[in-house]
Structure 1
Amino acid sequence: MTFPEMTVHDLIESLSGCDPNAPVRQAVNPFFPMAHRMAQVLQSVDETGRTVVYLAEGQDDDAQLGHLPPEVAIALTWQGPVQAPPRRPRRRAGGN
């Protein structure tokens, strides 16, 4: 099954409602969700001759910023919401 690819137009439309001064991050690896600092936008041609735009991670050692915030991983459906286990009644002194 193929999925429609996001176009540059789609990306611009999605970004138009965002704070223009906010930093851009890339979310990768749904099995170990991490956030990465974006550094470059590159245009190239794929194997079929179609123009493709790549959003590239920085090359600095600190380009990987750490774990993706849980609310982002949940919104991407990369993980489900985690609920705390139900609380058990406390035991009283004397074993009652």
Structure 2
Amino acid sequence: MTVGDILDLLSVCDRNTPVRLAVNPFFPMAHRLGGVEKAVDEHGRPMVYIAESPEAEQFGPLPPAVAVALTWQPPAEGPSRRRRGATGPNTSQ
């Protein structure tokens, strides 16, 4: 992914919408962004790094729909439920 790809994806979003960083597909969590840093890699190619907040603030698990959209988890359906009988005193005697 390039900076242009990110800009294209973000250009359709409201500029006031908070941004979270989704990390770790095996235990998907949301983190606050802390900054963007330009650098070069070991081959001298320009790179951009998006950093986690210095406070390492974690907002908890990703919403399941986000993990599915990122293909980190398959779509899942809840278990089927049977209708249960009424509870209360047995008055059939």
TM range (shorter): 0.7 to 0.9
TM-score by length of 1: 0.82
TM-score where L is the length of structure 2: 0.84
1:59 — aligned with what? 54
Aligned counterpart for 1:70 among listed residues 64, 69, 73:
64
- Cα root mean square deviation, aligned: 1.8
> SS of the residue aligned with 2:39?
strand
What SS does the aligned partner of 1:13 have?
helix
Say yes or no: does 1:86 pair with 2:80.
yes
Structure 2 CA distance for aligned equivalents of residues 40 and 88 of structure 1: 50
Listed one character per residue, the Cα deviations across residues 46-76 of structure 1 (whole Å, up to 9, x for unaligned) are 0110000001000115x11111111100111
DSSP 3-state at the match of 2:81:
coil
Larger radius of gyration: 2
- 1:16 paired residue among 2, 11, 15: 11
Specify every segment of 5 or more residues in structure 2 that has no aligned partner in the other structure, as ranges: none
CA-CA distance at 1:27 after TM superposition: 0.5
The Cα shift of 1:88 comes to: 3.2
How many residue pairs end up in the alignment? 88
